[in-house]
Amino acid sequence: MRGLYSGCTFKLDSFPREDQNQEYLVVSAEYRLFDPGYRTQNEAHSGNFKLVLGVAPTALPYRPPRITPRPIMRGPQTATVVGPSGEEIFTDKYARVKVQFHWDRLGKKNENSSCFVRVSQTWAGSGWGFIQIPRIGQEVIVDFLEGDPDLPIITGRVYNASQMPPYGLPGNATQSGWKSDSSKGGGGYNELMFEDKAGSELVNFQAQKDHNLLIKHDRTKLVQHDQSDRIDHDAKHSVGHNLDEDVGNNKTVKVGVDQTTNIGNNDTETVGVNRSLTVGSNETIGIGSNSTETIGANHTQTVAIVQTVSVGAARVDSVGASETRTVGGLQANTIGARRSVTVGAAQSHDIGAADSWTIAAAQSVKVGADQSFAVGGAQSSEIGKARTAKIGADDATDVGGAHALKVGKGSGIQVAEDSSIKVGKKLVIEAGDSITLKCGDASITMKKDGTIVADGKDITIKGSGKITVKADGDVIVKGSTINNN
């Protein structure tokens, strides 16, 4: 029995109640020793040692009775948030922080100055709520649940001489809000500030770097006066469905460099009054399919230098009334295939200088009524191959000066009725080999060797004056009868 003392354990065996046979912790031991000295006969066999044990099963945690009263904290205290050297925020997964009280002269103002202390937040849920973690160096208010010094809790934060408010007071007493400090190192902040000064009310928001806004359904925004948006770098605007813009007055869009607009389907633009488009340099418009332009009144197009119109297939220009085109310099039209121009009434071309036409293949000009050409200077026509002119009625050519006709090969003139040649002065007909004048059976032939043959039935030579027959050789007159006067 001497081995049993307070704090030791032993195991009980062979007790009548089986559930009591287990290991026990001795929580108290009372030893009773007797030295009777003189014993009577009846006391000769009585014991002189007695042991009383207070035990508890080791399966249950032992809690000694509270004899010393628990200390009670009579009210809240202020303390400074502390943590490891070089850190600005020190917390655990429960958003708790460590503090050092002002009366603590042994603490090193580090992570060992206290246990982690819970921080009261304005809202706390399971994975949601409001959170602001006190930072190292800030002064906080520490209270104790039911006055228990083992249950501290931070219930507030206070400013002091080294931790001043963000807005100068008392001058900015109407300002309130949240202003953070970038960590580590400071130098930046996020802020939501309210200015409540009458007539100068303001809500100011600043994101030191990024700002993400997620609205899972509708958003309504109303600005009852002016709005100004400024983006110093890139901006991207993505709308998953329709986008409607309603501008009650003017709208101005200014793009410093390039602008690209990509429309997957149709594009409709309606301008109630005038529209002006100014392009400082080049403009290129590419249309994959058809293009239709309808102008209810006048249309004026001014090209300062060169204009090029390229049509890959057909092109139709329909003008209900008059059309006037004025080209101050050059104009070039290039048509890769056929071109058809239909004018319902008169057509007039007025060209101030030279006019040149180059046609790679055939050209056909059909005039339903009269056609007139007036050339103020010379006119030159050059035809690479054959030329055919067919005139349904009379043909008259009036040449004010000389007229020359040069034919490289043969030439033929066929007149169905009368033909006359009238020359005001000399008429020279010259042939390299021979000249033949023929009418029915009569003919006169002149050859290049000087031979002249007059062939016919009756030949009469009649002169109102003299008729002289002179030959360097013989003169032969042959007939059935020769009469000389």
What pLDDT is recorded for position 47? 60
What would the mean pLDDT of 287-310 be, rounded to a whole number?
76
* Of 152, 142, 155, residue with least CA distance to 71: 152
Of 52-61, 297-306, 460-469, the least confident: 297-306
314 vs 74 pLDDT, higher one: 74
What does the H/E/C string look like for the chain? CCCCCCCCEEECCCCCCHHHCCEEEEEEEEEEECCCCCCCCCCCCCCCEEEEEEEEECCCCCCCCCCCCCCCCCCCEEEEEECCCCCCCCCCCCCCEEEEECCCCCCCCCCCCCCCEEECCCCECCCCECCCCCCCCCEEEEEEHHHCCCCEEEEEEECCCCCCCCCCCCCCCCEEEEECCCCCCCCCCCEEEEECCCCCCEEEEECCCCCCCCCCCCCCCCCCCCCCCCCCCCCCCCCCCCCCCCCCCCCCCCCCCCCCCCCCCCCCCCCCCCCCCCCCCCCCCCCCCCCCCCCCCCCCCCCCCCCCCCCCCCCCCCCCCCCCCCCCCCCCCCCCCCCCCCCCCCCCCCCCCCCCCCCCCCCCCCCCCCCCCCCCCCCCCCCCCCCCCCCCCCCCCCCCCCCCCCCCCCCCCCCCCCCCCCCCCCCCCCCCCEEEEEECCEEEEEECCCCEEEECCCCCCCCCCCCCCCCCCCCCCCCCCCCCC
Q: How far is CA 401 from CA 310, 378, 397, 398, 404, in A?
A: 44, 11, 12, 9, 10
Mean pLDDT of 323-352: 70
What's the pTM value of the predicted model, to 2 decimals? Answer: 0.52
Q: What is the pLDDT of residue 308?
A: 75
Closest CA to 150 of 39, 38, 258, 73: 73
Out of 17-31, 151-165, 222-236, give the one with best mean pLDDT.
151-165
The chain-wide mean pLDDT, for the chain, equals 86
Domain ranges of the chain: 9-57, 71-167
Identify the band that residue 317 occupies on the pLDDT scale cut at 50, 70 and 90: confident
Are 118 and 153 in contact by the 8 Å Cβ rule? The answer is yes
* Residues 294-303: tens digit of each pLDDT: 777 777 777 7
If you average pLDDT over residues 337-363, what whole number do you get?
72
Residue 329, pLDDT score: 66
Residue 66 has pLDDT above 90, yes or no: no
Q: Which fold has domain 71-167?
A: OB fold (Dihydrolipoamide Acetyltransferase, E2P) (2.40.50)
- Token look-up 């195991």 returns 11
Residue 175: per-residue pLDDT: 97
Query: Residues 54-76: what's their mean pLDDT?
Result: 89
CA distance 135 to 180: 11
Q: Give CA separation, 52 vs 5, 55, 146, 304, in Å.
A: 10, 10, 40, 124
- The pLDDT, as a whole number, for residue 197 is 97
Residue 464 Ramachandran class (φ > 0 left, ψ -120 to 50 alpha, else beta): alpha
Do 54 and 28 meet the contact criterion of CB atoms below 8 Å apart?
Answer: yes
Cis before 236 (ω within 30): no
Q: Is the pLDDT of residue 460 over 90?
A: no
Distance CA 192, CA 309 (A): 59
Burial class from Cβ neighbours inside 10 Å (0-12, 13-18, 19+) for residue 152 reads: buried
The pLDDT of residue 178 is above 80: yes
Judged against a pLDDT cut of 80, whether residue 320 lies above it is answered with no
Question: pLDDT at residue 225 above 60?
Answer: yes
Rounded average pLDDT over 119-132: 95
Q: Can you give the pLDDT at residue 74?
A: 92
Q: Would the pLDDT of 44 be above 70?
A: no
pLDDT score, position 164: 96
CA–CA separation, 384 vs 302, rounded Å? 39
Q: In 3D, which of 190, 181, 183, 240 has the Cα closest to residue 211?
A: 190
Q: Does residue 314 register a pLDDT over 80?
A: no
- Say which range, 68-77, 149-158, 343-352, 458-467, has the weakest mean pLDDT: 343-352
**Least confident window among 75-89, 393-407, 454-468:** 393-407
Burial of 192 (0-12, 13-18, 19+ CB in 10 A): middle
Residue 134, pLDDT score: 98
Amino acid 390: pLDDT: 81
Q: What mean pLDDT is predicted for residues 74-78?
A: 96
End-to-end CA distance of the chain: 208
Residue tagged 């991207």 (tokens): 236
Average pLDDT over residues 307-316: 72
**Lowest-confidence pick of 25-39, 49-63, 122-136, 234-248:** 25-39
What does the block give as tokens for 461?
A: 């030579």
Banded pLDDT at 80 (limits 50, 70, 90):
very high
| Model pLDDT for residues 241-279, shown as the tens digit of each residue | 998 989 899 988 888 888 888 888 888 888 888 888 888
Contact 79, 102 (CB under 8 A): yes
